[in-house]
Structure 1
Protein backbone atom coordinates (compact mmCIF):
# COMPACT_ATOMS: atom_id res chain seq x y z
CA UNK A 1 0.00 0.00 0.00
CA UNK A 2 1.30 3.47 -0.88
CA UNK A 3 2.48 5.64 1.99
CA UNK A 4 -0.41 7.73 3.30
CA UNK A 5 -3.04 5.95 1.22
CA UNK A 6 -6.15 4.84 3.11
CA UNK A 7 -7.04 1.15 3.09
CA UNK A 8 -9.25 0.06 0.23
CA UNK A 9 -12.19 -0.58 2.54
CA UNK A 10 -12.15 3.08 3.61
CA UNK A 11 -11.75 4.73 0.21
CA UNK A 12 -15.44 5.57 -0.27
CA UNK A 13 -16.21 6.18 3.41
CA UNK A 14 -17.65 9.67 3.99
CA UNK A 15 -18.58 9.09 7.63
CA UNK A 16 -18.41 12.30 9.63
CA UNK A 17 -18.26 14.51 6.53
CA UNK A 18 -21.06 16.91 5.65
CA UNK A 19 -21.95 17.67 2.05
CA UNK A 20 -24.41 20.10 0.44
CA UNK A 21 -26.23 18.69 -2.59
CA UNK A 22 -28.01 21.44 -4.50
CA UNK A 23 -31.18 20.66 -6.39
CA UNK A 24 -31.61 17.55 -4.25
CA UNK A 25 -35.35 17.47 -4.87
CA UNK A 26 -34.74 16.43 -8.52
CA UNK A 27 -33.90 13.04 -10.01
CA UNK A 28 -30.11 13.21 -10.20
CA UNK A 29 -29.89 15.29 -7.03
CA UNK A 30 -31.95 12.86 -4.98
CA UNK A 31 -29.88 9.96 -6.29
CA UNK A 32 -26.66 11.73 -5.31
CA UNK A 33 -27.96 12.68 -1.87
CA UNK A 34 -29.11 9.15 -1.12
CA UNK A 35 -25.86 7.59 -2.26
CA UNK A 36 -23.70 9.99 -0.25
CA UNK A 37 -25.80 9.30 2.84
CA UNK A 38 -25.32 5.59 2.24
CA UNK A 39 -21.56 6.26 2.27
CA UNK A 40 -21.94 7.85 5.70
CA UNK A 41 -22.11 11.54 4.80
CA UNK A 42 -24.34 14.04 6.57
CA UNK A 43 -26.27 15.45 3.61
CA UNK A 44 -27.81 18.90 3.33
CA UNK A 45 -30.57 18.47 0.74
CA UNK A 46 -30.95 21.87 -0.90
CA UNK A 47 -34.13 22.90 -2.67
CA UNK A 48 -35.39 26.09 -4.26
CA UNK A 49 -39.08 25.62 -4.90
CA UNK A 50 -39.92 22.01 -4.06
CA UNK A 51 -39.67 21.85 -0.28
CA UNK A 52 -41.99 18.85 0.01
CA UNK A 53 -39.79 16.71 -2.26
CA UNK A 54 -36.65 17.65 -0.32
CA UNK A 55 -38.26 16.88 3.01
CA UNK A 56 -39.56 13.56 1.67
CA UNK A 57 -36.00 12.72 0.56
CA UNK A 58 -34.68 13.56 4.03
CA UNK A 59 -37.29 11.23 5.50
CA UNK A 60 -36.29 8.42 3.12
CA UNK A 61 -32.61 8.86 3.98
CA UNK A 62 -33.44 8.75 7.67
CA UNK A 63 -35.49 5.59 7.29
CA UNK A 64 -32.53 3.97 5.53
CA UNK A 65 -30.28 4.82 8.46
CA UNK A 66 -28.67 7.95 7.02
CA UNK A 67 -28.47 11.53 8.21
CA UNK A 68 -29.85 14.48 6.24
CA UNK A 69 -31.54 17.85 6.56
CA UNK A 70 -33.45 19.99 4.04
CA UNK A 71 -32.60 23.62 3.44
CA UNK A 72 -34.03 26.05 0.91
CA UNK A 73 -32.08 28.80 -0.86
CA UNK A 74 -31.99 30.88 -4.02
CA UNK A 75 -28.49 30.12 -5.25
CA UNK A 76 -28.41 33.19 -7.46
CA UNK A 77 -28.67 35.32 -4.30
CA UNK A 78 -25.50 35.89 -2.28
CA UNK A 79 -27.20 36.28 1.10
CA UNK A 80 -29.26 33.12 0.57
CA UNK A 81 -26.17 31.16 -0.46
CA UNK A 82 -24.24 32.32 2.60
CA UNK A 83 -27.19 31.34 4.78
CA UNK A 84 -27.21 27.85 3.23
CA UNK A 85 -23.57 27.30 4.17
CA UNK A 86 -24.15 28.65 7.68
CA UNK A 87 -27.11 26.32 8.12
CA UNK A 88 -25.07 23.33 6.97
CA UNK A 89 -22.35 24.14 9.48
CA UNK A 90 -24.96 24.69 12.21
CA UNK A 91 -26.73 21.40 11.46
CA UNK A 92 -23.67 19.17 11.34
CA UNK A 93 -20.79 21.11 12.88
CA UNK A 94 -18.82 21.61 9.70
CA UNK A 95 -18.81 21.29 5.93
CA UNK A 96 -16.58 19.06 3.81
CA UNK A 97 -18.06 19.28 0.34
CA UNK A 98 -20.46 20.77 -2.17
CA UNK A 99 -22.22 19.14 -5.12
CA UNK A 100 -23.41 21.85 -7.52
CA UNK A 101 -26.25 19.94 -9.13
CA UNK A 102 -29.12 22.47 -9.32
CA UNK A 103 -29.79 23.42 -12.91
CA UNK A 104 -32.16 24.84 -15.50
CA UNK A 105 -32.87 23.14 -18.85
CA UNK A 106 -35.63 24.59 -21.03
CA UNK A 107 -35.72 23.75 -24.74
CA UNK A 108 -35.88 26.81 -27.02
CA UNK A 109 -34.70 27.43 -30.60
CA UNK A 110 -31.78 29.85 -30.68
CA UNK A 111 -33.77 32.47 -32.61
CA UNK A 112 -36.45 32.46 -29.90
CA UNK A 113 -34.23 32.74 -26.82
CA UNK A 114 -34.83 36.07 -25.12
CA UNK A 115 -32.06 38.02 -23.44
CA UNK A 116 -33.81 37.41 -20.12
CA UNK A 117 -33.91 33.65 -20.68
CA UNK A 118 -30.24 33.60 -21.68
CA UNK A 119 -29.32 35.55 -18.55
CA UNK A 120 -31.43 33.26 -16.35
CA UNK A 121 -29.73 30.17 -17.76
CA UNK A 122 -26.27 31.57 -17.05
CA UNK A 123 -27.28 32.77 -13.58
CA UNK A 124 -28.55 29.35 -12.52
CA UNK A 125 -26.21 26.95 -14.31
CA UNK A 126 -22.94 28.88 -14.06
CA UNK A 127 -23.55 31.70 -11.59
CA UNK A 128 -25.01 29.48 -8.87
CA UNK A 129 -22.05 27.05 -8.77
CA UNK A 130 -19.62 30.00 -8.82
CA UNK A 131 -21.33 31.67 -5.87
CA UNK A 132 -21.67 28.57 -3.71
CA UNK A 133 -18.10 27.49 -4.47
CA UNK A 134 -16.80 30.92 -3.50
CA UNK A 135 -18.76 30.96 -0.24
CA UNK A 136 -17.62 27.40 0.53
CA UNK A 137 -14.00 28.41 -0.13
CA UNK A 138 -14.41 31.32 2.30
CA UNK A 139 -15.63 28.86 4.91
CA UNK A 140 -12.70 26.49 4.38
CA UNK A 141 -10.20 29.34 4.51
CA UNK A 142 -11.51 30.67 7.82
CA UNK A 143 -12.24 27.35 9.51
CA UNK A 144 -10.02 24.64 10.91
CA UNK A 145 -11.12 22.10 8.28
CA UNK A 146 -8.17 22.73 5.96
CA UNK A 147 -9.60 20.77 3.05
CA UNK A 148 -12.71 20.09 1.03
CA UNK A 149 -14.13 19.00 -2.30
CA UNK A 150 -16.50 20.41 -4.91
CA UNK A 151 -18.20 18.43 -7.66
CA UNK A 152 -20.02 20.32 -10.42
CA UNK A 153 -22.69 18.51 -12.40
CA UNK A 154 -22.02 19.64 -15.96
CA UNK A 155 -23.18 17.83 -19.12
CA UNK A 156 -21.85 16.22 -22.27
CA UNK A 157 -23.55 19.19 -23.95
CA UNK A 158 -20.68 21.28 -22.63
CA UNK A 159 -18.74 19.59 -25.45
CA UNK A 160 -21.44 18.67 -27.97
CA UNK A 161 -24.47 20.96 -28.46
CA UNK A 162 -28.03 19.86 -29.14
CA UNK A 163 -30.75 21.71 -31.04
CA UNK A 164 -32.82 23.92 -28.79
CA UNK A 165 -30.09 23.94 -26.14
CA UNK A 166 -27.77 26.76 -27.24
CA UNK A 167 -28.06 28.55 -23.90
CA UNK A 168 -27.91 25.31 -21.88
CA UNK A 169 -24.85 23.99 -23.73
CA UNK A 170 -23.07 27.34 -23.36
CA UNK A 171 -23.80 27.42 -19.63
CA UNK A 172 -22.39 23.91 -19.14
CA UNK A 173 -19.29 24.74 -21.16
CA UNK A 174 -18.82 27.72 -18.85
CA UNK A 175 -19.23 25.45 -15.83
CA UNK A 176 -16.54 23.10 -17.14
CA UNK A 177 -14.03 25.93 -17.53
CA UNK A 178 -15.00 27.29 -14.12
CA UNK A 179 -14.24 23.85 -12.69
CA UNK A 180 -10.70 23.99 -14.04
CA UNK A 181 -10.17 27.59 -12.98
CA UNK A 182 -11.46 26.92 -9.48
CA UNK A 183 -9.24 23.85 -9.17
CA UNK A 184 -6.25 25.99 -10.11
CA UNK A 185 -6.96 28.68 -7.52
CA UNK A 186 -8.43 26.68 -4.66
CA UNK A 187 -5.86 23.88 -4.51
CA UNK A 188 -3.79 26.02 -2.15
CA UNK A 189 -6.69 25.85 0.32
CA UNK A 190 -6.81 22.07 0.08
CA UNK A 191 -10.00 22.15 -2.00
CA UNK A 192 -10.35 19.78 -4.96
CA UNK A 193 -12.77 20.84 -7.70
CA UNK A 194 -14.01 18.40 -10.32
CA UNK A 195 -16.98 17.88 -12.62
CA UNK A 196 -19.21 15.05 -13.76
CA UNK A 197 -20.76 15.30 -17.23
CA UNK A 198 -23.81 13.06 -17.53
CA UNK A 199 -25.37 11.86 -20.71
CA UNK A 200 -29.11 11.18 -20.99
CA UNK A 201 -30.40 10.07 -17.59
CA UNK A 202 -33.73 8.38 -17.01
CA UNK A 203 -36.50 10.43 -15.47
CA UNK A 204 -40.15 9.66 -14.93
CA UNK A 205 -42.10 9.70 -18.21
CA UNK A 206 -39.15 10.25 -20.56
CA UNK A 207 -39.84 7.12 -22.63
CA UNK A 208 -43.46 8.16 -23.18
CA UNK A 209 -42.73 11.84 -23.71
CA UNK A 210 -39.70 11.49 -25.99
CA UNK A 211 -39.75 7.97 -27.48
CA UNK A 212 -37.75 8.85 -30.61
CA UNK A 213 -35.02 10.56 -28.60
CA UNK A 214 -34.72 7.67 -26.18
CA UNK A 215 -34.55 5.20 -29.06
CA UNK A 216 -31.85 7.25 -30.81
CA UNK A 217 -29.85 7.47 -27.59
CA UNK A 218 -29.99 3.74 -26.94
CA UNK A 219 -28.89 3.05 -30.51
CA UNK A 220 -26.00 5.51 -30.24
CA UNK A 221 -24.71 4.57 -26.78
CA UNK A 222 -22.23 1.67 -26.78
CA UNK A 223 -23.69 0.43 -23.48
CA UNK A 224 -27.17 0.56 -25.00
CA UNK A 225 -29.18 2.18 -22.21
CA UNK A 226 -30.06 5.44 -20.52
CA UNK A 227 -28.21 6.39 -17.37
CA UNK A 228 -29.74 6.07 -13.95
CA UNK A 229 -29.35 8.67 -11.17
CA UNK A 230 -27.21 6.17 -9.27
CA UNK A 231 -24.74 6.05 -12.19
CA UNK A 232 -24.12 9.75 -11.73
CA UNK A 233 -24.20 9.47 -7.95
CA UNK A 234 -21.42 6.89 -7.89
CA UNK A 235 -19.19 9.15 -9.99
CA UNK A 236 -19.85 12.00 -7.56
CA UNK A 237 -19.12 9.74 -4.60
CA UNK A 238 -15.79 8.76 -6.15
CA UNK A 239 -14.75 12.37 -6.75
CA UNK A 240 -15.70 13.44 -3.23
CA UNK A 241 -13.95 10.49 -1.64
CA UNK A 242 -10.36 9.76 -0.72
CA UNK A 243 -10.18 7.49 -3.77
CA UNK A 244 -9.87 10.72 -5.80
CA UNK A 245 -7.52 12.47 -3.37
CA UNK A 246 -5.05 13.47 -6.15
CA UNK A 247 -7.65 14.40 -8.74
CA UNK A 248 -8.67 18.01 -9.31
CA UNK A 249 -9.64 20.03 -12.35
CA UNK A 250 -11.00 16.92 -14.08
CA UNK A 251 -14.29 16.15 -15.79
CA UNK A 252 -15.64 12.61 -15.61
CA UNK A 253 -17.88 11.70 -18.56
CA UNK A 254 -20.69 9.39 -17.44
CA UNK A 255 -22.64 8.82 -20.63
CA UNK A 256 -22.67 5.12 -21.46
CA UNK A 257 -19.93 5.78 -24.02
CA UNK A 258 -21.99 7.93 -26.37
CA UNK A 259 -19.18 10.53 -26.55
CA UNK A 260 -16.94 7.85 -28.03
CA UNK A 261 -18.96 7.74 -31.25
CA UNK A 262 -17.41 9.31 -34.34
CA UNK A 263 -18.99 12.54 -35.53
CA UNK A 264 -18.39 11.97 -39.26
Structure 2
Protein backbone atom coordinates (compact mmCIF):
# COMPACT_ATOMS: atom_id res chain seq x y z
CA UNK A 1 0.00 0.00 0.00
CA UNK A 2 1.16 3.52 -0.78
CA UNK A 3 0.54 6.03 1.99
CA UNK A 4 -0.64 8.59 2.53
CA UNK A 5 -3.17 8.10 -0.25
CA UNK A 6 -6.08 10.15 -1.50
CA UNK A 7 -8.48 8.21 0.74
CA UNK A 8 -6.31 7.81 3.81
CA UNK A 9 -8.49 7.37 6.91
CA UNK A 10 -11.71 6.74 4.99
CA UNK A 11 -14.09 3.83 5.51
CA UNK A 12 -15.76 2.68 2.31
CA UNK A 13 -18.46 0.19 1.35
CA UNK A 14 -18.44 -1.20 -2.19
CA UNK A 15 -21.51 -3.20 -3.19
CA UNK A 16 -21.23 -5.97 -5.74
CA UNK A 17 -17.56 -6.39 -4.90
CA UNK A 18 -17.53 -10.02 -5.98
CA UNK A 19 -17.65 -8.97 -9.64
CA UNK A 20 -14.79 -7.69 -11.74
CA UNK A 21 -15.65 -3.99 -11.61
CA UNK A 22 -16.46 -4.15 -7.89
CA UNK A 23 -13.15 -5.84 -7.13
CA UNK A 24 -11.32 -3.20 -9.15
CA UNK A 25 -13.03 -0.40 -7.23
CA UNK A 26 -12.34 -2.01 -3.86
CA UNK A 27 -8.69 -2.58 -4.77
CA UNK A 28 -8.16 1.04 -5.83
CA UNK A 29 -9.85 2.36 -2.67
CA UNK A 30 -7.57 0.20 -0.54
CA UNK A 31 -4.49 1.29 -2.48
CA UNK A 32 -5.40 4.89 -1.70
CA UNK A 33 -5.65 4.19 2.03
CA UNK A 34 -9.32 3.42 2.67
CA UNK A 35 -10.57 0.58 4.85
CA UNK A 36 -12.94 -1.31 2.55
CA UNK A 37 -16.05 -3.39 3.22
CA UNK A 38 -16.68 -5.61 0.20
CA UNK A 39 -20.32 -6.57 -0.25
CA UNK A 40 -21.44 -9.66 -2.14
CA UNK A 41 -24.60 -11.73 -2.40
CA UNK A 42 -23.40 -15.04 -3.87
CA UNK A 43 -19.82 -14.39 -5.09
CA UNK A 44 -18.37 -15.01 -1.65
CA UNK A 45 -15.18 -16.68 -2.86
CA UNK A 46 -14.29 -13.92 -5.31
CA UNK A 47 -14.97 -11.18 -2.76
CA UNK A 48 -13.00 -13.10 -0.13
CA UNK A 49 -10.00 -13.45 -2.42
CA UNK A 50 -10.09 -9.73 -3.16
CA UNK A 51 -10.26 -8.94 0.56
CA UNK A 52 -7.35 -11.31 1.22
CA UNK A 53 -5.19 -9.53 -1.34
CA UNK A 54 -5.98 -6.18 0.25
CA UNK A 55 -5.01 -7.48 3.70
CA UNK A 56 -1.85 -9.11 2.35
CA UNK A 57 -0.83 -5.70 0.99
CA UNK A 58 -1.29 -4.10 4.40
CA UNK A 59 -4.82 -2.78 4.02
CA UNK A 60 -8.04 -3.35 5.93
CA UNK A 61 -10.91 -5.28 4.37
CA UNK A 62 -13.96 -7.30 5.32
CA UNK A 63 -16.58 -9.22 3.33
CA UNK A 64 -20.26 -8.64 4.09
CA UNK A 65 -23.17 -10.53 2.54
CA UNK A 66 -26.65 -9.18 1.77
CA UNK A 67 -29.50 -9.49 -0.71
CA UNK A 68 -29.92 -5.90 -1.87
CA UNK A 69 -33.40 -6.47 -3.27
CA UNK A 70 -34.47 -6.45 0.40
CA UNK A 71 -34.71 -2.91 1.79
CA UNK A 72 -34.03 -4.02 5.37
CA UNK A 73 -30.96 -5.95 4.21
CA UNK A 74 -29.63 -2.78 2.55
CA UNK A 75 -29.95 -0.87 5.81
CA UNK A 76 -28.35 -3.70 7.79
CA UNK A 77 -25.44 -3.86 5.34
CA UNK A 78 -24.68 -0.17 5.71
CA UNK A 79 -24.89 -0.43 9.51
CA UNK A 80 -22.57 -3.46 9.56
CA UNK A 81 -20.02 -1.69 7.38
CA UNK A 82 -20.06 1.35 9.64
CA UNK A 83 -19.81 -0.78 12.79
CA UNK A 84 -16.78 -2.57 11.30
CA UNK A 85 -15.30 0.83 10.45
CA UNK A 86 -15.46 2.08 14.01
CA UNK A 87 -18.88 3.65 13.82
CA UNK A 88 -18.40 5.69 10.66
CA UNK A 89 -18.76 5.37 6.92
CA UNK A 90 -17.27 8.02 4.65
CA UNK A 91 -17.82 6.53 1.20
CA UNK A 92 -20.35 4.27 -0.49
CA UNK A 93 -20.07 2.92 -4.03
CA UNK A 94 -23.33 1.46 -5.29
CA UNK A 95 -21.92 -0.98 -7.84
CA UNK A 96 -24.16 -4.05 -7.46
CA UNK A 97 -26.38 -4.71 -10.45
CA UNK A 98 -27.58 -7.18 -13.06
CA UNK A 99 -27.47 -6.98 -16.86
CA UNK A 100 -29.69 -9.63 -18.43
CA UNK A 101 -30.46 -9.68 -22.14
CA UNK A 102 -34.14 -9.83 -23.10
CA UNK A 103 -36.05 -8.39 -26.03
CA UNK A 104 -38.53 -5.73 -24.98
CA UNK A 105 -41.47 -7.29 -26.85
CA UNK A 106 -41.11 -10.57 -24.96
CA UNK A 107 -40.18 -9.15 -21.56
CA UNK A 108 -42.42 -9.89 -18.59
CA UNK A 109 -43.22 -7.48 -15.78
CA UNK A 110 -41.41 -9.83 -13.38
CA UNK A 111 -38.24 -9.65 -15.48
CA UNK A 112 -38.53 -5.87 -15.58
CA UNK A 113 -39.00 -5.66 -11.79
CA UNK A 114 -35.98 -7.89 -11.11
CA UNK A 115 -33.70 -5.46 -12.91
CA UNK A 116 -35.30 -2.35 -11.42
CA UNK A 117 -35.26 -3.73 -7.87
CA UNK A 118 -31.63 -4.83 -8.13
CA UNK A 119 -30.25 -1.82 -10.02
CA UNK A 120 -32.38 1.06 -8.74
CA UNK A 121 -34.26 0.26 -5.54
CA UNK A 122 -31.10 -1.06 -3.88
CA UNK A 123 -29.33 2.19 -4.76
CA UNK A 124 -32.15 4.17 -3.19
CA UNK A 125 -32.12 2.11 0.02
CA UNK A 126 -28.34 1.91 0.49
CA UNK A 127 -27.96 5.62 -0.24
CA UNK A 128 -30.68 6.56 2.22
CA UNK A 129 -29.07 4.51 4.98
CA UNK A 130 -25.55 5.75 4.23
CA UNK A 131 -26.56 9.41 4.03
CA UNK A 132 -28.17 9.22 7.46
CA UNK A 133 -24.95 7.82 8.93
CA UNK A 134 -22.76 10.32 7.12
CA UNK A 135 -24.89 13.23 8.28
CA UNK A 136 -23.88 12.57 11.86
CA UNK A 137 -20.16 12.23 11.10
CA UNK A 138 -19.26 15.22 8.97
CA UNK A 139 -20.63 14.06 5.62
CA UNK A 140 -19.24 11.79 2.95
CA UNK A 141 -19.50 10.72 -0.68
CA UNK A 142 -21.78 8.32 -2.51
CA UNK A 143 -21.11 7.12 -6.04
CA UNK A 144 -23.49 5.08 -8.17
CA UNK A 145 -22.16 2.96 -11.01
CA UNK A 146 -24.42 3.74 -13.95
CA UNK A 147 -23.58 3.03 -17.61
CA UNK A 148 -23.20 4.67 -21.01
CA UNK A 149 -26.46 2.85 -21.72
CA UNK A 150 -28.18 5.43 -19.52
CA UNK A 151 -27.78 7.75 -22.53
CA UNK A 152 -27.95 5.35 -25.45
CA UNK A 153 -30.12 2.23 -25.73
CA UNK A 154 -28.88 -1.19 -26.77
CA UNK A 155 -30.99 -4.06 -28.15
CA UNK A 156 -32.14 -6.44 -25.46
CA UNK A 157 -31.18 -4.02 -22.69
CA UNK A 158 -34.29 -1.86 -22.37
CA UNK A 159 -34.76 -2.72 -18.69
CA UNK A 160 -31.03 -2.31 -17.97
CA UNK A 161 -30.63 1.02 -19.77
CA UNK A 162 -33.78 2.39 -18.17
CA UNK A 163 -32.54 1.36 -14.73
CA UNK A 164 -29.20 3.08 -15.28
CA UNK A 165 -30.87 6.27 -16.49
CA UNK A 166 -32.90 6.18 -13.28
CA UNK A 167 -29.70 5.77 -11.26
CA UNK A 168 -28.23 8.90 -12.88
CA UNK A 169 -31.36 10.88 -12.08
CA UNK A 170 -31.46 9.53 -8.52
CA UNK A 171 -27.90 10.78 -7.95
CA UNK A 172 -28.86 14.27 -9.08
CA UNK A 173 -31.91 14.32 -6.81
CA UNK A 174 -29.90 12.91 -3.91
CA UNK A 175 -27.13 15.46 -4.47
CA UNK A 176 -29.72 18.21 -4.15
CA UNK A 177 -31.43 16.86 -1.04
CA UNK A 178 -28.43 15.41 0.81
CA UNK A 179 -26.07 18.28 0.00
CA UNK A 180 -27.03 20.25 3.13
CA UNK A 181 -26.01 17.14 5.13
CA UNK A 182 -22.49 17.32 3.71
CA UNK A 183 -23.10 14.31 1.45
CA UNK A 184 -22.02 14.44 -2.20
CA UNK A 185 -23.67 12.06 -4.69
CA UNK A 186 -22.38 11.35 -8.21
CA UNK A 187 -22.44 8.65 -10.86
CA UNK A 188 -19.76 6.96 -12.94
CA UNK A 189 -20.94 5.69 -16.33
CA UNK A 190 -18.54 3.09 -17.71
CA UNK A 191 -18.36 1.89 -21.26
CA UNK A 192 -17.37 -1.67 -22.12
CA UNK A 193 -15.14 -3.05 -19.36
CA UNK A 194 -12.96 -6.04 -20.16
CA UNK A 195 -13.21 -9.36 -18.32
CA UNK A 196 -11.84 -12.85 -18.77
CA UNK A 197 -13.41 -14.50 -21.78
CA UNK A 198 -15.19 -11.40 -23.12
CA UNK A 199 -13.35 -11.43 -26.45
CA UNK A 200 -14.41 -15.06 -26.94
CA UNK A 201 -18.00 -14.52 -25.83
CA UNK A 202 -18.60 -11.36 -27.91
CA UNK A 203 -15.80 -11.01 -30.48
CA UNK A 204 -17.63 -8.66 -32.85
CA UNK A 205 -18.73 -6.36 -30.03
CA UNK A 206 -15.17 -6.16 -28.69
CA UNK A 207 -13.83 -5.36 -32.17
CA UNK A 208 -16.43 -2.65 -32.71
CA UNK A 209 -15.73 -1.09 -29.32
CA UNK A 210 -12.00 -0.98 -29.93
CA UNK A 211 -12.56 0.67 -33.30
CA UNK A 212 -14.87 3.26 -31.74
CA UNK A 213 -12.63 4.04 -28.76
CA UNK A 214 -10.48 7.14 -29.07
CA UNK A 215 -7.71 5.32 -27.18
CA UNK A 216 -8.16 2.00 -28.97
CA UNK A 217 -8.92 -0.31 -26.06
CA UNK A 218 -11.60 -1.58 -23.72
CA UNK A 219 -11.86 -0.31 -20.19
CA UNK A 220 -10.37 -2.02 -17.17
CA UNK A 221 -11.98 -2.37 -13.72
CA UNK A 222 -9.24 -0.09 -12.40
CA UNK A 223 -10.35 2.66 -14.78
CA UNK A 224 -13.73 2.69 -13.07
CA UNK A 225 -11.99 2.45 -9.70
CA UNK A 226 -9.86 5.50 -10.47
CA UNK A 227 -12.97 7.55 -11.27
CA UNK A 228 -14.59 6.43 -8.01
CA UNK A 229 -11.45 7.27 -6.02
CA UNK A 230 -11.46 10.77 -7.47
CA UNK A 231 -15.12 11.35 -6.62
CA UNK A 232 -14.61 10.10 -3.05
CA UNK A 233 -11.50 12.20 -2.50
CA UNK A 234 -10.93 15.78 -1.42
CA UNK A 235 -10.11 16.59 -5.05
CA UNK A 236 -13.86 16.35 -5.78
CA UNK A 237 -15.06 18.33 -2.77
CA UNK A 238 -17.08 20.65 -5.04
CA UNK A 239 -18.34 17.94 -7.38
CA UNK A 240 -21.84 16.60 -6.80
CA UNK A 241 -24.78 15.66 -9.00
CA UNK A 242 -22.33 14.85 -11.81
CA UNK A 243 -22.22 11.88 -14.20
CA UNK A 244 -18.60 11.03 -15.01
CA UNK A 245 -18.45 9.05 -18.26
CA UNK A 246 -15.54 6.59 -18.41
CA UNK A 247 -15.66 5.09 -21.89
CA UNK A 248 -12.35 5.72 -23.63
CA UNK A 249 -13.87 8.46 -25.75
CA UNK A 250 -16.50 6.30 -27.48
CA UNK A 251 -19.26 8.79 -26.68
CA UNK A 252 -17.24 11.52 -28.42
CA UNK A 253 -17.51 9.73 -31.76
CA UNK A 254 -20.13 11.13 -34.21
CA UNK A 255 -23.17 8.92 -34.67
CA UNK A 256 -24.13 10.22 -38.13
- TM-score of the superposed pair, with normalisation by structure 1: 0.94
- Where does structure 1 differ by over 2 angstroms across 4 or more consecutive aligned residues? none
Residue of structure 2 in register with 1:155 after alignment: 147
**What is the CA deviation profile of residues 211-261 of structure 1, one whole-angstrom value per residue up to 9, with x for unaligned ones?**
001001111111111000011100000000000000000010100000011
* Aligned counterpart for 1:26 among listed residues 1, 19, 26: 19
Separation (CA, whole Å) in 2 of partners of 1:76 and 1:54: 19
What residue in structure 2 maps to residue 213 of structure 1? 205
Residue 67 of structure 2: aligned partner: 74
Q: What is the RMSD of the two structures over their aligned residues, measured on CA atoms?
A: 1.1
- Counterpart Cα distance in 1 of 2:144 and 2:154: 20
Aligned residues: 253
CA–CA separation in structure 2 for the residues paired with 1:90 and 1:165 = 37
* Alignment partners' CA distance in 2, 1:100 and 1:85: 11
Q: Distance in 1 between matches of 2:83 and 2:168?
A: 31
Deviates more, 1:13-22 or 1:236-245: 13-22
| Aligned match of 1:136 | 130
Q: What is the Cα deviation at residue 174 of structure 1?
A: 0.4
The equivalent of 1:58 in structure 2 is: 51
Counterparts of residues 1-264 of structure 1 (less than 5 Å): 13-93=6-86, 94-141=88-135, 143=136, 145-264=137-256
* Partner Cα distance (2:71, 2:167) in 1: 18
Preserved CA contact (<8 Å) 1:17 1:95: yes
Gaps spanning 5+ residues in structure 1: where? 1-8
| 64-73 vs 86-95, greater mean Cα deviation | 86-95
User: How big is each residue's C-alpha offset from its partner over 1:149-189, in whole Å with a ceiling of 9 and x where there is no partner?
Assistant: 00000000000111110110000000000010000000000
Distance 1:79 1:181 in 2: 22
Q: Distance in 1 between matches of 2:133 and 2:67?
A: 19
Distance in 1, matches of 2:41 and 2:224, equals 21
State the distance in 2 between where 1:110 and 1:223 align: 33
State whether residues 71 and 122 of structure 2, in contact with CA within 8 Å, keep that contact through their aligned partners in structure 1: no
Contact 1:76 1:131 in 2 (8 A): no
Determine the C-alpha separation between the residues in 1 that align with 2:250 and 2:6.
Answer: 30
Gap regions ≥5 residues in structure 2: none
Using structure 2 for the length normalisation, give the TM-score: 0.96
